[in-house]
Amino acid sequence: MIKQIYIGLGAFLLQFILVDILSIKMIRPDFLVIYIFYFTLLNAKYKGIILGFIIGLLSDLTGVGSYFGLTSLTLSLTAYLTGFLNGKYERLLPYFFHSIWVSILLLHFYIITYVRFQILYESSTLDFLFKFIFTFGYTMMFFVVIQFFFPVKDASRAQIS
């Protein structure tokens, strides 16, 4: 647990310090959602929700997100939904399992993109969709890399302590 908290601190610092370097046309990767996702799979759902809220709050406080409370909301929601996947890999069809966690991340990014780019959504839906897909896709690139070292299915099999 302590180790995971340290990883969380690392993820937060990574998000806070290095995210500008990795920024492409104002689109930044979201390491916090990756961390909360894995943390919830490895731990109890409520712990993920609490940590998601706290980390989201810290992220909003640092100005990484322009809407105070938005990241807390989306990370709590991601943790809550991810919690349902705990130990479910064996019980669900693999493609269904993978579709669910991808959908959870899609929802996370859709909410963030929708709130931040409401005006774009109203003026040009196509541009909004591109923005949403790029934001999601950019973080997914990092997610896929992490997948090689620590697959989601392995994390899901972990027993709740």
Partner 1 sequence: MRNLYLFFLKYKDHFIFLFFVFSSFTLLLQNDNTNTIIIRGKFSDKLSIISSPFAWMRSMSQLEQETKILREKNIQLTLRIESMSNANEEHKSLLKLLELKEDSDLELIAANVVNSGSSSNLSSITLDVGENHGIKVDQAVLVPDGIIGKTIVVGKNSSIVQIINDVNFRLSVRILPSGNAGILRYLENDICEIRELQKNAKISIGDNVVTSGFSQIYPKNLPVGEIIEVLNQRGSFQKVAKVRIKSRIGSLLHAFIILNDIEID
Whole-angstrom Cα distance, residue 115 to residue 108?
Answer: 11
Find the binding residues for partner 1 in span 32-61 (CB under 8 A).
Answer: 44-46, 49-50, 52-53, 56-57, 60-61
Nearer to partner 1, 45 or 131 (CB): 45
Give yes or no for residue 23 binding partner 1 (CB under 8 A).
no
Nearer to partner 1, 111 or 146 (CB): 111
Question: Please, are residues 28 and 131 in contact by the beta-carbon 8 Å criterion?
Answer: no
Whole-angstrom Cα distance, residue 151 to residue 62?
Answer: 30
Nearest to 20 by CA among 57, 53, 63: 63
Instruction: Give residues in contact with partner 1 (CB under 8 A).
Output: 13, 16-18, 20-21, 44-46, 49-50, 52-53, 56-57, 60-63, 67-70, 72-73, 76-77, 80, 83
